[in-house]
Amino acid sequence: MLVSNQKIDLPILEEKGVTLYLKREDTIHPHISGNKYRKLKYNLLEAQKLGHNSLLTFGGAFSNHIAATAYAGKEKGFKTIGVIRGEELKDNWHNNPTLNFAHEHGMEFHFVSRSDYRRKNDKIFLEGLQNVVGECYIVPEGGTNALAVKGCMEILTETDTNFDFICSAVGTGGTILGLINSAKPHQTIWGFPALKGDFLTEDIRKFALNDNWELVSKYHFGGYAKVDANLINFINTFKKETEIPLDPIYTGKMLFGIFDLIKKDAFKKGTQILAIHTGGLQGIKGMNLALKKRNLPLLDV
């Protein structure tokens, strides 16, 4: 799968002598975008090999992974079941663009309370679920497992070895693990967590084969899916200037962080940065509905 690296031309980059490219993983597929495509690739092959007919996975109401699994599952002939966080959605998921999309592509929902959802990796909970929905191949939340990391090791290619820094948004950590485990020793990986909390560092350290990485944890904007007018304006301006759309939950926060760090001279003159556009654009519709309710500026589409 060949994905292009797009050079970003903006005055601040010229002024600071920093080169920035975006790897357009968002263009991999119209509906299975970015890292979710990478993470599902070997999992779907494994499910096929094991003879499963159904996939079961987990996600919240705006989950890119839920949308991607529904689409990819249908394409490959699997029945898909989504365990969705939030019982209150049971009666009004029709108002949610992500869940509507997943449903249109054949996903069956199983709504659970937040406390049950927290048991998503618990063996007994999973057995109970399978008693209800039938046997199935279980893809963890965010699609992250060893096969997902294997898929994400295919993001970087031989032509990317010139870059000094590789940057990626971080959710569950699967994507950055793929980058860490496939980067060259002279490259530094910076992850930008989209959520609050330090637990990610430990999770990543357990599976990282190298220590050439760091999490830059101050650009989460208050937590997962939290946004403010400043972030929305940044994303809209970036789109106007580069014609590249960013999502508000992951890639928007990462690039906001990268530009803030460039302004603060965190990178030496001559540094070459490759930022991964991990996709997630399906989430814009749902975010705009939420922004409208809060009287915040909307994302340009």
- For ligand PLP, the binding residues (CB under 6 A) are 34-36, 64-65, 142, 144, 169-176, 247, 250-251, 278-280
Q: Can you read off the two tokens belonging to residue 154?
A: 């295919």
* Smallest distance, ligand PLP to C-beta of residue 245, A: 11
* Smallest distance, ligand PLP to C-beta of residue 254, A: 8
- Picking from 221, 301, 279, 256, the residue whose alpha carbon sits closest to that of residue 37 is 279
Distance, CA of 248 to CA of 252 (rounded, Å): 5
Q: Which is nearer to ligand PLP, 62 or 165 (CB)?
A: 62
* Smallest distance, ligand PLP to C-beta of residue 131, A: 28
Q: Which is nearer to ligand PLP, 34 or 82 (CB)?
A: 34
Q: How many alpha carbons fall within 13 Å on the CB side of residue 138?
A: 17
- 287-296: long-range contacts (C-beta < 8 A, 24 or more apart)? 287/62, 287/225, 287/227, 287/248, 287/249, 289/95, 289/97, 291/227, 291/232, 296/227, 296/228, 296/229, 296/232
* Smallest distance, ligand PLP to C-beta of residue 180, A: 12
* Smallest distance, ligand PLP to C-beta of residue 98, A: 11
Q: Which is nearer to ligand PLP, 97 or 174 (CB)?
A: 174
| Residue closest to ligand PLP (Cβ) | 280
Amino acid at 49: K
Q: Which is nearer to ligand PLP, 34 or 97 (CB)?
A: 34
Q: Which is nearer to ligand PLP, 16 or 249 (CB)?
A: 249
Distance, CA of 23 to CA of 3 (rounded, Å): 7
